[in-house]
Structure formats: C-alpha cells, structure tokens
Amino acid sequence: MERAYDVVVVGSGFGGGITACRLAEAGKRVCVLERGKRFTGKDFLKVEDLDDAPKLLWHHVFNPGGLYDIRMMRHVTVVTAAGVGGGSLVYASVQLRAPADLFERGWPEAITRTELDPWYDRTEEALEPRTTPPDPPLDKVRAFAATGEHAHHPANLLPLAVHFGEKRKHPFSQVEQEGCQNLGRCDIGCPVNAMNRVDITYVARAESYGAEVHPLHMVTTIDPPEREGGNWRVAYSNLGEGDDGTVEAPILVLAAGTLGTSRLLLQNRKRLPELSPALGTCFSGNGDALGIALDPQAEGTRNADNGHGPVMTSKLDFPDRHVIIADGGLPPGFEGILEISRGIKFLTGWRRLLLRMQRLLVLFGLSDRPLRPRHLPRRKREPDRDALIFLMMGRDAADGRMRLTWPFNRFDIRWDMAASKRTFDDLERSAKEVAKAANADLHYALDGPLGTYATSHPLGGCPMADDPEHGVVDDLGRVYNYPGLYVLDGSIVPTAIGVNPSKTIAALAERGAASLVAGFPP
Ligand SMILES: Cc1cc2nc3c(=O)[nH]c(=O)nc-3n(C[C@H](O)[C@H](O)[C@H](O)COP(=O)(O)OP(=O)(O)OC[C@H]3O[C@@H](n4cnc5c(N)ncnc54)[C@H](O)[C@@H]3O)c2cc1C
Ligand code: SF4
C-alpha cells in the first residue's frame, strides 16, 4: 500500500463500491480499506458444510474471515455482512425504488423521487435487476401468488440483481458469472456468481481502473487535515498477517455501513469536535419483521419449497399501511440462521449460558460485541416443515439513537420504539390477514437473540439534512464543517424506507460520487 492517494474509501459495500468505481473511472488514485475478506464462489459454505453455520460469524480477532456480523445492542440486534462487497455478499438481491411520497418528510429538499430516478437508473448498468423467468417454474412463486390471490393482494414479482441466462462475462465488469441455478443460497453467498454483487460489479470495475482494494483492513481512527486542503489520515488494523498502519488522502469517504460509519464517527468525535449534534440520531430498522405461516392449507399454497430458487421472488403490497410482505427462503436444512432469528430459547446448555452472559454485559454497557462462532451450535439438519416465510418491511419512526455507553465508551443503540407501535401493529395485522387467507398457523416475530428487536436493514446515524443542526451530512454526503470528508452509505438515510433499501443507498451514492468527481480538487 502507498502512503497517500487521491481518495481513501472505508468499506466496500454499496456506498463504498460505487464511490470507488466512479472515482477510479475518473482517473483518481483510490484506496479502499475493507475489514472483511475477499470471497470467491468456492469460499462460501457448501451445502454439505451447512452444519458448520457458526463459521459464518465474523469476529475481528477470532474469525476475521467470517461473513456475517451480528451485534447485540441494548435494544436492537443488527445483522450485517463483512467482506469485499459488504451486504451484497448475502443480500436477497431485491432492488426496489422508494415510493415517491417517502421523500415528502424528513429528507433534504433536493432529494425527491424525480431527482433520484436517473441515479436509480444508473445503478441498473451494474446490478441489472430482472424478475425470475417463468421457466423453470418455481413452487415458491406459485405458492406466494396463490396466497396473494386468497388475501386479495395480488403478488408482484420482485426485481432481483441476479443473472438468469447463460454463462457470460458481466458486461459492466467483465467478471465471469453463471446463470442462476435456483440453489436458494443467496443469503450465504452465491457459489456460481449469479448474483450481481458489488464485489463482482462495481469493485471489480474500480480495480480495472487502477483502484486498490485492501481486504482485512479495519479502520480505527480518523484525523482531520492539519491545514486547509491537507490530507485526512486514517489508521487501520491489519486483521490478516501484515502490520497496522496509516494512509492519507485529501478526500476521505466513509462507507462502512450504518453501524460501521456511525461507530467510527462517534469513537473519533474528540478528533472531530465540529460534527453535528445529529450524529447517532435517526436509527431505523426499516420496519423489519419476520413471519412464518406453518402448514398452509388453502389451494395452491402448499409445498412452497422455500429452499429452491432465489431467496426472495415476490411481494404483496399494502400501500395504505406502507407495508410490504415478501416471500423468504432458507438454504435446505440451514438451521444456523433460524437459530439466530428464533433466539435463546432454542439454545441449550453452555451456549445458552454464554449468550445470557453476553446479554448481561450489554446491559452493563459493554455492548457492540459481535456474536462469536462458539455462541452458535452445530446442528444436524431437520426435515423442512411446510411453511410460507414472510419477510416484512414498513416505515418505523426512525427515532433510535446510537451512542457510546457510560463508563466503557462502547457503541450502543437505544430505541424504545414507542413511536413505531402503529407500524409494527400494521405489520402484524397484515401478516395475520395473509396467513389466515392461506389457512396457515402464523408465527410472527420481531425478536432476535435474547428477545431484542432484530433487523438486517439498519439505516441512519449520520442523517442527511439541509442544515448541520439536523444532519451530519448534506444531500450530497458532504460532512458539515469538514471539507473533504464524505459519508456515502446507509447511515445517511434519514428515515425508514419501508422497502429493501440497497437501491436507494446505491442511488444516493451514485449521486454523491458524481458530484464529488465533478468538484474534485485539482
Ligand atoms: C441477509 C441480508 C439480506 C439482505 N437483502 C437485501 C435485499 O434483498 N435488498 C436490499 O435492498 N437490501 C438487502 N439487505 C440490506 C443491504 O445489504 C444493506 O442495506 C446494504 O448492504 C447497505 O449498504 P452500505 O453501503 O450502507 O453498507 P454495507 O453494504 O454493509 O458495507 C459496509 C462495509 O464496510 C465494512 N466496514 C465496516 N466497518 C469497517 C471499518 N471500520 N473498516 C473497514 N471496513 C469496514 C463492512 O465490512 C462492509 O463490507 C440485506 C441485508 C442482509 C444482512
Ligand atoms: S438462487 Fe442460487 S444460483 Fe440463484 S442467485 Fe441465489 S444462490 Fe445463486
């Protein structure tokens, strides 16, 4: 690694990958620091290894090559990914635009659906969203469509960033990929590169233009320039075999994700005293909720075969409630993820004790500890029960607060969720109606391990706004009071989106990166 670049980008998910790509295309010398490893198809867990699900958990000391980062905070459990490509390594590939009315409240004036549409379009060059083809027919699509009909909410196929077709070189990045083989493993990594992930699209293209990507490099501190126009300096821990070090650039883009970026800024606040008082505010879980409708009996709803086909394929809309219900899927016999979502009551013995102790530490202020592989059991596969899985989203109040705890200065999220009660009531009501229409037995869950609310779509913490009183960044991701410092990732989203968020995060990053390229210091 060089000592200095034109731009340093922290994180390589949607925000980081897109920014690195557009700056590298513009001829800038770009360095990307990513705390997780680089995955190729053969690194993802194979079906025969699924009993080894605990190996999936990322931990900076015990398992820096892990894929999932699961954090238990006081009020919220958050699931994200670590690795080059960020959340796109495990996402269900759903690419939805936010409804126009979302932008009417809580967003900077410049951001409207009309303003974002060209940037949404731009993301499609790389991510190429397509609906599942009719051939071969998928049972889960059939079962969900029948469920929607019974519930009088017709199912719509979801646009997925998945390649359905022949083996090819991706036109945006020239990376080889095969077509989708309906392996149902999108949420633990697609072994045939059929998902248009950020690492094989934007990041690969950035590299073809000379960007350097450094996996297993976790950024720890940020120092502002000592003089106007000088370099930002970041320090990193090398989680691989090399040495820790620092790297500099006049432009620093933070794209470490909602938790990663908010944590970095909170922990470096003394070095950056002019940051907005809004830092840490507007946390949202994007109204995530999970429902499992067991043993459906209504015509056409049985035998959805949830492990066959992309993880999500279709959705039912409840526009008056701002709620969507999408189908979900799990790789065949994949119990590890269910363990995480079903919580401690499904654990036994010393693992249960370990998790209880971890929970106690969190309550005493020692939060922000990723779950470790030993927290989860290796389990034998169980026969699948006939079920419809509902992955739901709505517009919560986005009024959670990230902060450092007293006396340990650990990152934590506090969220009483009282103002979101109506949203979660609407989600539960919608799930009940649909399960009833399918004549199934609904298990509705908001909770993750140890009964805390769980989300895989965290947003906010560095909200965008038109003034520094209410926002950490402006509508282009520029950090107020700190020229040269940008945030372009999910942390700048100031409200819940109520649909899968990555396309909106990507569009905001495309827009911010284009403005950064246009105004780059000579
Ligand atoms: C199981 C799952 C399924 C999902 N499915 C969908 C879906 O179908 N559609 C959708 O729209 N969204 C989906 N999401 C959400 C989506 O993945 C996220 O909204 C999106 O990835 C956020 O993008 P980002 O750029 O903000 O951050 P991320 O993609 O999370 O990228 C942040 C990156 O920064 C790295 N990082 C963090 N801290 C540091 C540090 N200190 N130093 C260096 N690197 C650091 C992380 O390792 C990570 O790679 C899903 C999420 C999960 C977990
Ligand atoms: S269903 Fe299988 S092949 Fe298709 S994208 Fe998902 S993991 Fe890849």
Q: What is the DSSP letter of 306?
A: T
Band (pLDDT 50/70/90 cuts) for residue 379 is low
Any ligand 1 atom below 6 A from CB of 428 = no
Any ligand 1 atom below 6 A from CB of 329 = no
DSSP-assigned states of every residue in 234-263: EEEEESSSS--EEEEESEEEE-SHHHHHHH
Cα dihedral 181, 183, 184, 185 sign:
negative
What is the 415 CA–ligand 2 centroid distance (Å)?
Answer: 35
Any ligand 2 atom below 6 A from CB of 140 = no
Ligand nearest to the CA of 138: 2
> What is the mean pLDDT of the segment spanning 384-394?
88
Sheet of 30-33, strands arranged across:
212-214, 30-33, 7-10, 251-254, 485-487
Distances in Å between the alpha carbon of 204 and those of 172, 375, 451, 499? 9, 34, 40, 27
Please state, as a whole number, how many other Cβ atoms lie within 10 Å of the Cβ of residue 62.
12
> What is the mean pLDDT of the segment spanning 491-495?
98
pLDDT greater than 60 at residue 67: yes
Helix, strand, coil in percent for the chain, rounding step 5? 30, 20, 50
Q: Cα 282 vs. chain centroid, distance in angstroms?
A: 16
Alpha carbon distance, N-terminus to C-terminus of the chain: 23
Any ligand 2 atom below 6 A from CB of 188 = no
How far is it, in rounded angstroms, from Cα 428 to Cα 115?
33
> What is the mean pLDDT of the segment spanning 247-251?
98
Any ligand 2 atom below 6 A from CB of 181 = yes
Which pLDDT score, from 0 to 100, does residue 366 have?
85
Which pLDDT score, from 0 to 100, does residue 426 have?
96
What does pLDDT average to over the chain? Answer: 91
What is the 52 CA–ligand 1 centroid distance (Å)?
Answer: 23
Any ligand 1 atom below 6 A from CB of 313 = no
Which pLDDT score, from 0 to 100, does residue 52 have?
65
What is the 17 CA–ligand 1 centroid distance (Å)?
Answer: 11
What is the 310 CA–ligand 2 centroid distance (Å)?
Answer: 5
Share of the chain above pLDDT 90, in %: 76
Q: pLDDT, tens digit, for every residue of 95-146?
A: 999 999 999 999 999 999 999 999 999 999 999 999 999 999 999 999 999 9
Contact 251, 484 (CB under 8 A): yes
For atom 6 of ligand 2, the residue with the nearest CA is: 186
Q: For residue 483, what are the contacts with CB-CB under 8 A and spacing of at least 6?
A: 228
Pocket test for ligand 2, best of 190, 197, 313, 334 (most atoms within 8 A of CB): 190
**Which atom number of ligand 1 is nearest to the Cα of residue 256?**
34
> What is the mean pLDDT of the segment spanning 174-199?
95
pLDDT greater than 90 at residue 507: yes
Which pLDDT score, from 0 to 100, does residue 367 have?
85
What is the 317 CA–ligand 2 centroid distance (Å)?
Answer: 25
What is the 309 CA–ligand 2 centroid distance (Å)?
Answer: 7
Any ligand 2 atom below 6 A from CB of 194 = yes
Band (pLDDT 50/70/90 cuts) for residue 291 is confident
Pocket test for ligand 2, best of 182, 197, 327 (most atoms within 8 A of CB): 182
What is the 137 CA–ligand 1 centroid distance (Å)?
Answer: 31
Band (pLDDT 50/70/90 cuts) for residue 384 is low
What is the 16 CA–ligand 1 centroid distance (Å)?
Answer: 10
Any ligand 1 atom below 6 A from CB of 288 = no
What is the 7 CA–ligand 2 centroid distance (Å)?
Answer: 34
Ligand nearest to the CA of 163: 2
Pairing between β-strand 323-327 and β-strand 387-393 as defined by DSSP bridges? antiparallel
pLDDT greater than 60 at residue 161: yes
Nearest residue to 414 (alpha-carbon basis) of 367, 371, 469: 367
Any ligand 1 atom below 6 A from CB of 331 = no
Pocket test for ligand 2, best of 95, 141, 162 (most atoms within 8 A of CB): 162
Band (pLDDT 50/70/90 cuts) for residue 455 is very high
Contact 184, 311 (CB under 8 A): yes
Crossing angle of helices 502-518 and 14-25, rounded to 10°: 30
**Which atom number of ligand 1 is nearest to the Cα of residue 261?**
38
Ligand nearest to the CA of 12: 1
Written as six digits, the tokens of 67 are: 């894929």
For atom 46 of ligand 1, the residue with the nearest CA is: 82
How far is it, in rounded angstroms, from Cα 262 to Cα 237?
18
What is the 41 CA–ligand 2 centroid distance (Å)?
Answer: 11
What is the 83 CA–ligand 1 centroid distance (Å)?
Answer: 9
What is the 444 CA–ligand 1 centroid distance (Å)?
Answer: 25
pLDDT greater than 90 at residue 18: yes
Which pLDDT score, from 0 to 100, does residue 372 have?
74
Any ligand 1 atom below 6 A from CB of 219 = yes
Any ligand 2 atom below 6 A from CB of 487 = no
pTM, rounded to two decimals: 0.96
Q: pLDDT, tens digit, for every residue of 325-373?
A: 999 876 655 455 555 555 555 566 777 777 778 888 888 888 888 877 6
Which pLDDT score, from 0 to 100, does residue 350 have?
74
Any ligand 2 atom below 6 A from CB of 310 = yes
For atom 4 of ligand 2, the residue with the nearest CA is: 180
Contact 140, 296 (CB under 8 A): no
Lowest mean pLDDT across 108-112, 158-162, 441-445, 490-494: 441-445
Any ligand 2 atom below 6 A from CB of 182 = yes
How far is it, in rounded angstroms, from Cα 84 to Cα 86?
6
Which pLDDT score, from 0 to 100, does residue 377 have?
56
